[in-house]
């Protein structure tokens, strides 16, 4: 019986690892994401009604599930409360809130501290990229007549999910599900695609916060059949124009530290590097560190 119980527990843990993290709205208006996939809690939005309370609630939730990281986006005026609870500043986005107040990306590392460490062989290539790009003029993308760019709609949901399934083995959100894509479209996420004929060759999304007037440029994916055509650069430029028309004043992204081409795309597009989130996000089968970039419109 003991062996059977242990095997059952291991199977349950594997199932938890495969399930997407859940998003929870608190009674006072904050938004949390948590789960075993990323092995963390992510405070996506903090309500000003419950700063001290949410810190205690997250600690309780982390202890209950043995999460190794708590990751939060907070305004500067509440940072002292988080710092007093051993949160560290990992990065920032100027003008995150309505172009007036910065967003601080703060984290607490739990357990034996392994999650805090980022290997030198992951940081050194990115440092070299920053050095190589320093002082270089920003290059607007050259027109690519072979591809047509447009905003995507609900009729494109299956194609979006299919391309994400082709590119990403795993992801912190269920972007492989067409139903999830439609749900996101109903919640201020705008998707953009590059087509060659009828084929969706590349896509990206802008997660828009109309109230705070910021947008995250995210979920870039290019079919291997169309790699090497700078489609992410073209999509980013296209999205930037769309965000300007919507009245957004701050763009930002959370890019994989290990994806030097994607980091280079943002640097070429005039984005500024502003921090690295240590071992933060589950992508393609492993937890990776992520870089923050921002651009003011």
Q: What are phi and psi of 40, to 5 degrees?
A: -160, 170
How many Å apart are CA 266 and CA 257, to the nearest integer?
Answer: 12
Same-domain status, 112 and 124: no
How many Å apart are CA 22 and CA 33, to the nearest integer?
Answer: 5
State the Cα torsion 139-142-148-152 to the nearest 10°: 10
In this predicted structure, what is the pLDDT of residue 12?
47
Within 13 Å and on the Cβ side, how many CA atoms surround 265?
25
Which residue, of 116, 131, 159, is where some domain finishes?
116
Same-domain status, 175 and 79: no
Query: 3-state DSSP: the chain helix, strand, coil percent, rounded to 5?
Result: 35, 35, 30
Same-domain status, 163 and 290: yes
Same-domain status, 65 and 134: no
Residues 6+ apart with CB under 8 A from 106: 71, 72, 74, 79, 82, 83, 87, 88, 89, 90
Residue 109 has pLDDT above 50, yes or no: yes
Residue 13 has pLDDT above 50, yes or no: no
Give the model's confidence band at 18: pLDDT under 50 very low, under 70 low, under 90 confident, else very high. low
Count of other CB atoms within 10 angstroms of residue 78 = 18
Residue 119, SS3 per DSSP: coil
Same-domain status, 108 and 166: no
In this predicted structure, what is the pLDDT of residue 141?
66
Residue 142 has pLDDT above 90, yes or no: no
Query: 168 or 276: whose pLDDT is higher?
Result: 276
Same-domain status, 6 and 125: no
Same-domain status, 63 and 207: no
In this predicted structure, what is the pLDDT of residue 220?
94
The CATH number that applies at residue 81 is 3.40.630.30
Residues 6+ apart with CB under 8 A from 228: none
In this predicted structure, what is the pLDDT of residue 295?
97
Which residue, of 116, 139, 169, is where some domain finishes?
116
In this predicted structure, what is the pLDDT of residue 48?
85
Task: Give the chain's domain count.
Answer: 2
Q: Summarize the confidence of residues 285-289 as an average pLDDT.
A: 91
Residue 255 has pLDDT above 70, yes or no: yes
Which residue, of 89, 116, 143, is where some domain finishes?
116
Same-domain status, 101 and 141: no
Among 4-18, 76-90, 191-205, whose mean pLDDT is lowest? 4-18
Domain that holds residue 95: 2-116
In this predicted structure, what is the pLDDT of residue 140?
64
How many Å apart are CA 36 and CA 97, to the nearest integer?
Answer: 30
Q: E strands within 210-244?
A: 214-222
Same-domain status, 105 and 226: no
Give the model's confidence band at 20: pLDDT under 50 very low, under 70 low, under 90 confident, else very high. confident
Same-domain status, 129 and 82: no
How many Å apart are CA 9 and CA 180, to the nearest integer?
Answer: 29
Same-domain status, 162 and 283: yes
Could you report the per-residue pLDDT of 22-47, keeping only the tens digit for each?
Answer: 888 888 889 999 999 999 999 999 99
Query: 231 or 171: whose pLDDT is higher?
Result: 231
The per-residue pLDDT of the chain, averaged, comes to: 90
Same-domain status, 174 and 292: yes
Residue 2 has pLDDT above 90, yes or no: no
Could you report the per-residue pLDDT of 155-202, keeping only the tens digit for each?
Answer: 999 999 999 999 987 777 788 999 999 999 999 999 999 999 999 999
Could you report the per-residue pLDDT of 73-85, keeping only the tens digit for each?
Answer: 999 999 999 999 9
């Amino acid at each position: 019986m003991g062996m059977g119980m242990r095997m059952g527990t291991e199977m349950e843990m594997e199932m938890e690892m495969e399930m997407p993290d859940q998003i929870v709205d608190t009674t006072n208006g904050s938004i949390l994401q948590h789960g075993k996939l990323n092995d963390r809690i992510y405070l996506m939005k903090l309500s000003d009604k419950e700063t001290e309370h949410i810190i205690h609630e997250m600690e309780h939730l982390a202890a209950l599930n043995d999460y190794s990281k708590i990751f939060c986006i907070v305004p500067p005026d509440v940072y002292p409360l988080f710092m007093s609870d051993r949160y560290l500043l990992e990065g920032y986005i100027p003008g995150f809130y309505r172009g007036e107040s910065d967003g601080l990306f703060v984290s607490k590392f739990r357990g034996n501290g392994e999650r805090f460490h980022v290997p030198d062989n992951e940081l050194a290539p990115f440092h070299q990229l920053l050095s190589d790009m320093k002082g270089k003029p920003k290059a607007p993308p050259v027109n690519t007549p072979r591809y047509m760019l447009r905003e995507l709609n609900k009729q494109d949901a299956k194609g979006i999910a299919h391309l994400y399934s082709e590119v990403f083995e795993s992801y912190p959100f269920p972007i492989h599900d067409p139903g999830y894509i439609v749900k996101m479209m109903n919640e201020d996420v705008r998707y953009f695609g590059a087509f060659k004929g009828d084929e969706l060759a590349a896509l990206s999304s802008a997660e828009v916060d109309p109230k705070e007037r910021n947008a995250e440029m995210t979920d870039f994916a290019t079919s291997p059949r169309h790699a090497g055509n700078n489609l992410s650069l073209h999509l980013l430029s296209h999205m930037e124009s769309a965000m300007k028309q919507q009245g957004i004043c701050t763009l930002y992204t959370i890019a994989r530290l290990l994806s030097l081409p994607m980091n280079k795309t943002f640097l070429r597009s005039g984005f500024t590097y502003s921090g690295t989130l240590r071992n933060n996000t589950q992508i393609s089968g492993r937890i990776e560190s992520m870089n923050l970039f921002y651009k003011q419109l």
